[in-house]
Amino acid sequence: MKSIVKILVSFFVLLWTVSVKAEDGSRLWLRYETVSDPELLKTYRTQISGWRIEGNSPTMQIAAKELKQGLEGLLASPVTSVSDIKTGMIIAGTPESSSLIRSANLQEKLKGLGNEGYILLSTKIQGKEVFVITANKDTGVLYGVFHFLRLIQTQKSINKLDIINVPKTTLRILDHWDNLDRTVERGYAGFSLWDWQRLPEYISPVYKEYARANASIGINGTVLTNVNANALILNPDYLIKVAALANVFRPYGIRVYLTARFSAPIELGKLKTADPLDPEVIAWWKKKTEEIYRYIPDFGGFLVKANSEGQPGPQNYGRSHADGANMLADAVKPFGGIVMWRAFVYDNNVPDDRAKQAYNEFVPLDGKFRDNVLIQVKNGPIDFQPREPFHPLFGAMPKTPLMMEFQITQEYLGFATHLVYLAPLYQECLESDTWVNGKGSTVAKVIDGSLENHTISGLAGVTNIGNDRNWTGHPFAQANWYAFGRLAWDPFLGSDKIADDWIRMTFSNQKEFVDPIRDMMLNSRETTVQYMTPLGLHHIMGNGHHYGPGPWVDMGRADWTSVYYHKADSLGIGFERTAAGSGATGQYAAPVDKFYSDLSTCPENLLLWFHHLPWDYRMKSGKILWDELCFQYTAGVNSVIRMQEEWAKKQGMIDEDRFEEVKSLLSIQAKEAKWWRDACIAYFQQFSKRPVPEGLEKPEHSLDYYKNQRFYYVPGN
């Protein structure tokens, strides 16, 4: 009998162990697994003797809980809160909350930190060597705690710490394109997190975990609703629900924002107009804003999509974007709120290159916006394509703060089934030189406000978060959420450093795992460009749902078709945007215009974005354009196959659950990369009239086969 009991006990212990070790990705990069290097673990345990957080605000309580949870997980031993000062203690607090911090004489260092910066410092207090985590405000202390834990998670030295970290931007915001019915536009990770039906009474634990994850990477704002806005969110029935979410997020340093439907005065207020200069409309928005602030005292303000893709706006009434933005800005100004007015505007009735329209509409308005308005500009002039040049608005509106809008959700980059690390895309844009104030006038310096000395600045990321257990659909898509937060805090960080940290925190610190997976991530965006839109091709995806290739799309309004953008014919391919064509290059500063216009300097990865070239144009490789296009498509497919091979080598180095999930998704990616290659080559070949180069795989099916494929209920559509 005893032996049977022992067997059963052993069985249940084993079962429990397996269940504990099972991974569904829900812990993101905050796993706090025990330090794997025995010597380093021993060193950390010797260095850290305990912790003490001084201050009892909700934010400080969160910081204390995080520090305790993190240290005990990482060090696999109790690390207790102690009252007596002793060597190796972690002391966290602000000068206001902590007499010990005040005694450390850090006043000079604290001066430049603002409300969110923090200090990590090895110093002496009462003759004891201690670690200090301090800031001017409690939120800064929380950020500092996450940074300290990240050092241990990534197995960095904590000897002689002297780190001062201040965000380079004031607004670091996630834009949720979530609808009130819980569907998510361009969302590929399930339904919306926001359970409007059960709010405000039921507060899901997920809301705190969401806030915690964002705080760990410095995100300080969230726009809860779709830019294709629903006015109902401004009703009291919903405002009380929004207030419940704001109450959860507030201790984590996160403010709530809402999308404002411009026609709300008509839809909710029963007015006859939404004209921004109409006194009744102005009064309605003022009253509505006062009501919102009664529910949410720290409400951040409004995000607005107006006069774009059918959304109502001030131009419906013959008014300008400045008229519309300023009306809302005046309403939120007394409460410290802001307005983020999107520059994503285009009109198929305008007989001009779509890439030029935002510049044409907004540049004449520079200097006419209120000082609490930011113009939110997508990274490129079309629409989150796998590769675009930087948007010409960056640097063209020196009197107006411009806010970057990146897309984290992979609308044009394989949804949540393709492994595409987006930090290189973000970095490519941020490092682009606008030349507006001479060499070195990078996009990063425009959006952080330093180029024109703006006091408000920021980045927005169209989020990829849903209610999937791993948050983002693809385990590696978590890296894009993480990378956005890190780059929003510091737009000058490198993609490789961010990837390295994320891998170590999410999977493993083993060099044999980290180095090749980091390289795979860093190359993944270029791989995707190659099998989707090489050499500057763009906007050739499937119609409506944007799933898969669709270079043949030629229906409805011209600027929603693929043929509008690639302009393939018997003579060649590409969109001529130099002075010989649409003149879009002229919207950039003169050195940039010259750089893109000159075929000898235009980067080949943007060649067909700016030039229409003959099929036999000679590339730098020596190949003619048609052959190079085929080689690029094939190289993309081959790169995915190498990704599969590399990932297969990692079996046994991480948990089996996530290994198998990524393996399966890479299989999908390989199949769809081949689909992209074959469909696009089959389509463009009818114009080039040339054979696929010797040694390259030919399309598996006829062009009609690819054109006749149909897809139903595609996610995010």
Report how far residue 688's alpha carbon sits from residue 573's, in angstroms, rounded to the nearest whole number: 9
Report how far residue 432's alpha carbon sits from residue 435's, in angstroms, rounded to the nearest whole number: 9
| Per-position DSSP letters for 47-67, written without gaps between them | H--EEEE---SHHHHHHHHHH
Known catalytic membership, residue 290:
no
Task: Identify the H or E element spanning 91.
Answer: strand 89-93
CB 614 within 8 A of CB 571: yes
Whether the upstream peptide bond of residue 389 has omega within 30° of 0, thus cis, is: no
Tokens 């505007």 belong to residue? 345
CB 346 within 8 A of CB 362: no
CB 549 within 8 A of CB 540: yes
Task: Identify the H or E element spanning 426.
Answer: helix 423-430
Known catalytic membership, residue 366:
no
Active-site hit among 54, 353, 411, 433: 411
Tokens of 274: 């939404």
Report how far residue 570's alpha carbon sits from residue 397's, in angstroms, rounded to the nearest whole number: 40
Q: Whose CA is closest to 372, among 404, 340, 398, 399? A: 340
Active-site hit among 383, 490, 646, 657: 383
For 194, list phi and psi in degrees, rounded to 5: -80, 110
Cβ partners under 8 Å of residue 699, min gap 6: 677, 678, 679, 681, 682, 685, 692, 706
Known catalytic membership, residue 383:
yes
Q: How many CB atoms lie within 10 A of CB 336?
A: 14
Three-class SS state of 337: coil
Tokens of 93: 């607090």
Active-site hit among 24, 280, 309, 554: 309
Three-class SS state of 587: helix
- Catalytic amino acids? 309, 383, 411
